[in-house]
């Protein structure tokens, strides 16, 4: 944990304990520097982080103050999963649940994507048009797997700028992150093998395990800091685990962010056991803190981490440009990619490349993060206001997803049905596990609905949860 | 066989037998109509077909005349493969052989693609730019599997125009034909199953079988009319064949074209055995005859034919737009597509769709076919002129590939090495089978080299074959 993260955590604990009450003024930067013996920039970063989380607010020329939520919902529980390997069969329920979300007339809180209106689509289309005009005909056939050389070099440069050493040779361009993750899973396993996943886990991960006939061991995952390493270690000792598939940054669905030192410990633990990590890092650019959290890949010394990401959630939805930085498995991933889909669409590759080279990508990202952070604050306030006591909710430091634990006895699937009848979609918790741990959970996407829809949709959802909670209380 | 095909075959036999000699004038259309009792259009189509094959030529205001080749090389042999199921392990030799082809400085007779200069790339780029400008942001997320609805409808309409009944629901857009073929193979088989393939077979088919751990039974395939149905029937009776993967139109590498009635018999034979056909039809638009040959899918009454194709060889190389019309397997293919790569790049989908709707696709295709037919005639003449006696070569009625049987004792791999030293690539025959039947074969691409390169490259190759044949004769 960085110094500013520690300072922010300490302040958060003071607020949680009531020592700092709503309306209280925080120490000035000068005071904090002298009291804590840290630099001014550490204090600024800590305050900025707390502000992005909606805990404090800046008042012009007065300093920072603790905001006054009506009530601050506690974090959801992290149920202890059975530590057994299970086969996976979720496809049908996932498709059934997701079918409704494609409907255009609903408030899309069940979507897996942020709103495409948050992306520079016209600028990107111009980049694509310009790049395709300049393209030599022969280049259309050159960019087969592992992908456009210059795009791969730019990806390697972005890793380097974030302090992660990745060679251009290691990067294979894929059809979105999903293909990258599937290819990595294939090279690391054979049908029947056991894979460690998070609990709750992204349903796309569960579907991939099902497809490849793999068994899952679900590892307890804290909604704030991710996979519990002691549970993982225990599982590694008990099961012949062939690979892990984790999301250390802004996990789907919890939004958990694994602290830096925990990531390092994770990579070391897996290196001791010789187990590869498939790192799904699709949301890393969507951080609300001061800087991009590093991937676990940053601590990989043995080429055991296969880092997978894409531009689908941060720049170019629908373009299907993802990649794997696959360490020692790079040539095998390339081989499998050649055999399965040969190559990635050149128009998409050169559009993204042209945008990276000639447009203000980092400026776009700053705007995107600010928009998502603001929507998160709105969504959390609306949940505080409208949902009944007993509701628990995450406050992720990035991404666009909230993981909500409903009061006892309220069923996520039932809430989904009632909500759909009111033209609101959401994702029920039972899609995120092979076990029945998460039936009273839902995942809410605050990044896709229009800002004007958020408050009303959450008010309606809150009312439905009140009704379901009353019914559950009445019958219980 | 259609009437015009029968007429053309009869004339060809007269030429082969010497009854019609070079320089002889063919009957006028009027004479042929009255002698054969066929329509004038049948005669025109037959003459057009023979002209496209380089057998006859039109002289202005004089009629059609038999051309005077120096010598007409006979067809290559079709070795009888061992009728055993074998496991497949070809990836490394394929990659080794293909590695050289990507080099930009060689005459690319080993390429798997026609020259990208034959495609309307600028018009296509304009179509893409225009479509992306008009796109609603939400549409970027709508076009997930099975793909853009309107594109799928256009594909179904093109099937209908060619007399094949395919519903829009049956069509799944994929990342090129290769993904379509792999998905179909996956839904029809389990690891260890036996699949019937052609002999020789496209090496991409062999790689797919290797990847999915399937066994191959190679079926004797005639270089003119494709898979031998009696061999197939025999194999169906002896082996637990779970699927066939064939290319009835312009097979890769032989260029064989299965006659219409044989396609119908093939589909009926497989229906009797309840065996699905995975039909690779990537080259169907590249016919030199009067009209597009129908796919085997046209005769499918039971939904057992999974028809796979793409725009990569006829319109949009590098865009990676393919599809499967997967009959009764459509929902399973869609399911697997969702899990493996989710969706296909929207910029590519809408570019191709916009081109289909607003540009002169059929006019482009006519020009492309004429260019390829002309190059084939040039290539065949050069081979007649420069290759030694004992050389055998196909005269495909479409596509851009020649299958050349070298004189006894000349090794295709050795020829490849010598040719590469002279900056000419080619594809050695041993890539097209698990068995050592085709070591004295090579596949030559006449559609990729610039027209000015063909004659010189084939002269060089011919000289090398002469040398190798002399060595083989000397040592034998």
> Which positions in chain A touch B335 (Cβ < 8 Å)?
91, 95
Which of A110, A131, A175 has the most B C-beta neighbours within 10 Å, making it the best mutation to test the interface with B?
A175
Q: Render pLDDT for A305-327 as a digit per residue (tens, 0 to 9).
A: 999 999 999 999 999 999 999 99
Q: With beta carbons less than 8 A apart as the criterion, state whether B292 and B250 touch.
A: no
The CA dihedral of B119, B123, B124, B130, to the nearest 10 degrees, is: 180
The domain tally of chain B equals 3
CATH number of the domain that residue A189 is part of = 3.40.640.10
Q: Cα A221 to the chain's mean position, in Å?
A: 13
Same domain? For A258 and A339 the reply is: yes
Q: Cα A46 to the chain's mean position, in Å?
A: 21
Candidates A263, A246, A266; CA nearest to A202 is A246
* Cis status, amide bond into B253, omega within 30 of 0: yes
Here the tokens at position A199 are 């609990």
Which of B141, B183, B323 has the most A C-beta neighbours within 10 Å, making it the best mutation to test the interface with A?
B141
Same domain? For A206 and A288 the reply is: yes
Q: How far apart are CA A326 and CA A303, in angstroms?
A: 8
Q: Cα A464 to the chain's mean position, in Å?
A: 27
> Which positions in chain A touch B116 (Cβ < 8 Å)?
137-138, 140-141
**Count of Cβ atoms closer than 10 Å to residue A226 Cβ:** 26
Which of B140, B175, B211 lies closest to A175 in CB terms?
B175
Q: With beta carbons less than 8 A apart as the criterion, state whether A462 and A395 touch.
A: no
* R_g over Cα of chain A: 22
User: Which pTM was predicted?
Assistant: 0.87
Cβ-Cβ contacts under 8 Å for B121 (sequence gap 6 or more): A132, A135, A137, A140
Domain boundary (B361, B378, B394) is at B361
CATH number of the domain that residue B14 is part of = 1.10.10.10
The CA dihedral of B105, B109, B112, B118, to the nearest 10 degrees, is: 80
Same domain? For B389 and B321 the reply is: no
> Which positions in chain A touch B142 (Cβ < 8 Å)?
102, 104
Q: With beta carbons less than 8 A apart as the criterion, state whether A225 and A257 touch.
A: yes
Largest Cα span, chain B: 71
A71 belongs to a structural domain: no
Same domain? For A394 and A351 the reply is: no
A77 belongs to a structural domain: no
8-state DSSP, B43: H
Same domain? For B221 and B346 the reply is: yes
Same domain? For A425 and A442 the reply is: yes
Q: How far apart are CA B294 and CA B260, in angstroms?
A: 7
Asked if the Cβ–Cβ distance from B137 to A125 is below 8 Å, we say: no
- Report helix, strand and coil shares of chain B as percent, to nearest 5: 50, 15, 35
CA atoms within 13 A on the CB side of B72: 21
CA of B140: which chain A residue's CA is closest? Answer: A318
The residue assigned the tokens 């400085």 is: B105
- Residue A431, pLDDT > 60, answer yes
Same domain? For A220 and A335 the reply is: yes
Q: Which residues of B267-284 are buried (b: 16+ CB within 10 A; e: fewer)?
A: bebbbeeebbbbbbbbbb
Q: How far apart are CA B224 and CA B75, in angstroms?
A: 8
Do strands B63-66 and B56-59 pair parallel, antiparallel, or not at all (unpaired)?
antiparallel
Same domain? For A413 and A324 the reply is: no
Q: With beta carbons less than 8 A apart as the criterion, state whether B412 and B424 touch.
A: no
Candidates B338, B303, B36, B284; CA nearest to B165 is B303
Q: Is residue B173 helix, strand or coil?
A: strand
Q: How far apart are CA B99 and CA A274, in angstroms?
A: 32
CATH number of the domain that residue B459 is part of = 3.90.1150.10
Same domain? For B345 and B385 the reply is: no
Q: Is residue A190 helix, strand or coil?
A: coil
DSSP-assigned letters across all residues of B402-421: EEEEPPTT--HHHHHHHHHH
pLDDT of residue A177: 97
**Count of Cβ atoms closer than 10 Å to residue A138 Cβ:** 14
Do strands A401-405 and A392-393 pair parallel, antiparallel, or not at all (unpaired)?
antiparallel
Domain boundary (A317, A336, A361) is at A361
Q: Of A39-53, A145-159, B198-212, where does mean pLDDT reach its minimum? A: A39-53
Q: How far apart are CA A291 and CA B273, in angstroms?
A: 62
Asked if the Cβ–Cβ distance from B117 to A133 is below 8 Å, we say: no
Chain A nearest C-alpha distance from B419 (Å): 21
Q: How far apart are CA B423 and CA B417, in angstroms?
A: 10
Chain A nearest C-alpha distance from B437 (Å): 24
Same domain? For B136 and B214 the reply is: yes
Asked if the Cβ–Cβ distance from B113 to A143 is below 8 Å, we say: no
> Which positions in chain A touch B341 (Cβ < 8 Å)?
174-176, 178-179, 182, 320, 341
Which of A113, A144, A336 lies closest to B141 in CB terms?
A113
Q: With beta carbons less than 8 A apart as the criterion, state whether B320 and A159 touch.
A: no
In total, the C-beta contacts within 8 angstroms joining chain A to chain B are 168
Q: Render pLDDT for A341-368 as a digit per residue (tens, 0 to 9).
A: 889 999 999 999 999 999 999 999 999 9
A200 belongs to a structural domain: yes
Q: How far apart are CA A301 and CA A306, in angstroms?
A: 12
Average pLDDT over residues A238-267: 97
A313 belongs to a structural domain: yes
Average pLDDT over residues A33-50: 88
The residue assigned the tokens 């430091």 is: A397
Here the tokens at position A368 are 């995107």
Which of B96, B342, B348, B352 has the most A C-beta neighbours within 10 Å, making it the best mutation to test the interface with A?
B342
Q: How far apart are CA B176 and CA B1, in angstroms?
A: 31
Using alpha carbons only, what angle is made at residue A183 by residues B195 and B103, rounded to the nearest 5 degrees?
Answer: 85
Q: B448 - beta bridge partners?
A: none
- In degrees and rounded to multiples of 5, residue A103 shows phi and psi of -60, 130
DSSP-assigned letters across all residues of A309-366: EESTTTT-TTS-EEEEE-GGGHHHHHHHHHHHT-B--HHHHHHHHHHHHHS-HHHHHH
Q: How far apart are CA B295 and CA B226, in angstroms?
A: 13
Q: Which of residues A268 and A71 earns the better pLDDT score?
A: A268
> Which positions in chain B touch A345 (Cβ < 8 Å)?
175, 318-321, 344-345, 347-348
pLDDT of residue B102: 65
pLDDT of residue A5: 87
Chain A nearest C-alpha distance from B131 (Å): 9
B71 belongs to a structural domain: no
Candidates A242, A396, A293, A351; CA nearest to B318 is A351
Per DSSP, which regions of A43-125 are E strands? 56-59, 63-66, 85-87, 107-108
A344 belongs to a structural domain: yes
Q: How far apart are CA A211 and CA A404, in angstroms?
A: 28
Candidates A53, A110, A116; CA nearest to A445 is A110
pLDDT of residue B34: 87
Q: With beta carbons less than 8 A apart as the criterion, state whether B360 and B315 touch.
A: no
Here the tokens at position A216 are 């899952």
A74 belongs to a structural domain: no
Same domain? For B302 and B412 the reply is: no
CA of B206: which chain A residue's CA is closest? Answer: A339
Measuring CA to CA, how many Å separate B130 from each of A319, B16, B123, B347, B354?
Answer: 16, 53, 11, 10, 8
Measuring CA to CA, how many Å separate B101 from each of A26, A252, B92, B109, B464?
Answer: 67, 43, 15, 8, 19
Same domain? For A412 and A277 the reply is: no
Q: Which domain, by its residues, includes A44?
A: 3-66
Q: With beta carbons less than 8 A apart as the criterion, state whether B402 and B379 touch.
A: yes
Chain B nearest C-alpha distance from A150 (Å): 16
Q: Cα A100 to the chain's mean position, in Å?
A: 22
8-state DSSP, B28: P
Asked if the Cβ–Cβ distance from B175 to A342 is below 8 Å, we say: yes
Candidates A137, A138, A130, A152; CA nearest to A355 is A130
Average pLDDT over residues A107-125: 95
Q: Which of residues B151 and A476 earns the better pLDDT score?
A: B151
Q: Is residue A144 helix, strand or coil?
A: strand
- Each residue's pLDDT tens digit in chain B (476 positions)? 788 888 988 888 888 777 888 888 988 888 888 888 899 999 988 998 888 777 888 887 888 888 866 457 888 988 777 778 888 888 888 877 777 666 678 999 999 999 999 999 999 999 999 999 999 998 888 767 799 999 999 999 999 999 999 999 999 999 999 999 999 999 999 999 999 999 999 999 999 999 999 999 999 999 999 999 999 999 999 999 999 999 999 999 999 999 999 999 999 999 999 999 999 999 999 999 989 999 999 999 999 999 999 999 999 999 999 999 999 999 999 999 988 888 999 999 999 999 999 999 999 999 999 999 999 999 999 999 999 999 999 999 999 999 999 999 999 999 999 999 999 999 999 999 998 889 999 999 999 999 899 999 999 999 999 999 999 886 54
Which of A117, A207, A319 lies closest to B347 in CB terms?
A319
CA of A115: which chain B residue's CA is closest? Answer: B138
Which of A125, A137, A178 lies closest to B342 in CB terms?
A178
Chain B nearest C-alpha distance from A384 (Å): 30
Asked if the Cβ–Cβ distance from B175 to A121 is below 8 Å, we say: no
* R_g over Cα of chain B: 22
Q: How far apart are CA B432 and CA B439, in angstroms?
A: 10
Which of B121, B129, B348 lies closest to A125 in CB terms?
B129
Q: What is the mean pLDDT of chain A?
A: 92
Asked if the Cβ–Cβ distance from B132 to A128 is below 8 Å, we say: yes
Q: Is residue A238 helix, strand or coil?
A: helix
Q: Cα B355 to the chain's mean position, in Å?
A: 24
- In degrees and rounded to multiples of 5, residue B27 shows phi and psi of -55, 145
pLDDT of residue B231: 95
Please state, for a pLDDT cut of 90, what percent of chain A lies above it: 72
Q: Positive or negative, the Cα torsion across A300, A303, A305, A310? A: positive
Q: How far apart are CA B155 and CA B332, in angstroms?
A: 20
> Which positions in chain A touch B144 (Cβ < 8 Å)?
102
Domain boundary (A327, A361, A395) is at A361
Q: How far apart are CA B42 and CA B32, in angstroms?
A: 10
The residue assigned the tokens 């068994």 is: A215
Measuring CA to CA, how many Å separate A81 from each of A24, A94, A217, A404?
Answer: 40, 20, 9, 18
B208 belongs to a structural domain: yes
> Which positions in chain A touch B348 (Cβ < 8 Å)?
345, 347-348
Which of B142, B182, B318 lies closest to A340 in CB terms?
B182
């Amino acid at each position: 944990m960085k110094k500013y993260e520690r300072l922010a955590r300490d302040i958060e604990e003071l607020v949680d304990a009531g020592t700092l009450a709503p309306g209280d003024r925080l120490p000035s930067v000068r005071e904090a520097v002298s009291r804590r013996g840290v630099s001014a920039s550490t204090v600024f970063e800590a305050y900025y982080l707390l502000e992005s989380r909606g805990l404090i607010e800046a008042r012009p020329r007065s300093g920072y103050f603790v905001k006054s939520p009506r009530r601050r919902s506690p974090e959801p529980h992290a149920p202890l999963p059975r530590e057994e390997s299970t086969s996976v069969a979720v496809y049908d329920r996932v498709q059934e649940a997701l079918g409704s979300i494609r409907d255009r007339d609903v408030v899309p809180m069940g979507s897996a994507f942020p709103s495409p209106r948050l992306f520079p689509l016209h600028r990107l289309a111009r980049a694509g048009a310009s790049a395709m005009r300049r393209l030599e005909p022969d280049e259309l056939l050159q960019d087969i797997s592992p992908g456009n050389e210059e795009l791969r070099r730019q990806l390697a440069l972005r890793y380097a700028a974030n302090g992660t050493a990745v060679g251009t040779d290691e990067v294979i361009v894929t059809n979105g992150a999903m293909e990258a993750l599937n290819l990595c899973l294939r090279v690391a396993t054979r049908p029947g093998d056991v894979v460690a996943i998070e609990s709750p886990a992204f349903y796309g991960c569960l579907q991939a395990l099902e497809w490849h006939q793999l068994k899952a061991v679900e590892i307890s995952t804290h909604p704030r800091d991710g996979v519990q390493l002691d549970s993982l270690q225990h599982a590694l000792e008990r099961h012949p685990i062939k690979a892990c598939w984790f999301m250390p940054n802004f996990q789907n669905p919890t939004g958990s962010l694994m602290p830096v030192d925990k990531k390092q410990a994770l990579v070391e633990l897996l290196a001791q056991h010789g187990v590869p990590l498939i790192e799904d890092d699709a949301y890393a650019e969507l951080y609300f803190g001061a800087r991009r959290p590093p991937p676990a890949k940053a601590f990989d010394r043995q080429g055991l981490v296969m880092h997978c990401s894409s531009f689908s959630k941060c720049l170019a939805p629908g373009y299907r440009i993802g990649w794997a930085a696959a360490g020692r498995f790079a040539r095998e991933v390339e081989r499998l990619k050649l055999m399965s889909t040969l190559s990635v669409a050149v128009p998409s590759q050169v559009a993204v490349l042209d945008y990276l080279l000639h447009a203000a990508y980092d400026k776009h990202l700053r705007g995107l993060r600010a928009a998502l952070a603001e929507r998160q604050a709105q969504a959390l306030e609306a949940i505080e206001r409208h949902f009944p006591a007993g509701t628990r909710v995450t406050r992720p430091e990035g991404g666009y997803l909230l993981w909500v634990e409903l009061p006892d006895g309220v069923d996520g699937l039932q809430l989904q049905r009632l909500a759909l009848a009111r033209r609101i979609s959401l994702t029920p918790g039972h899609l995120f596990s092979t076990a029945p741990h998460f039936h009273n959970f839902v995942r809410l996407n605050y990044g896709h609905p229009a800002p004007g829809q958020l408050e009303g949709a959450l008010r309606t959802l809150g009312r439905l949860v009140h009704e379901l909670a009353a019914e559950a209380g009445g019958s219980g």
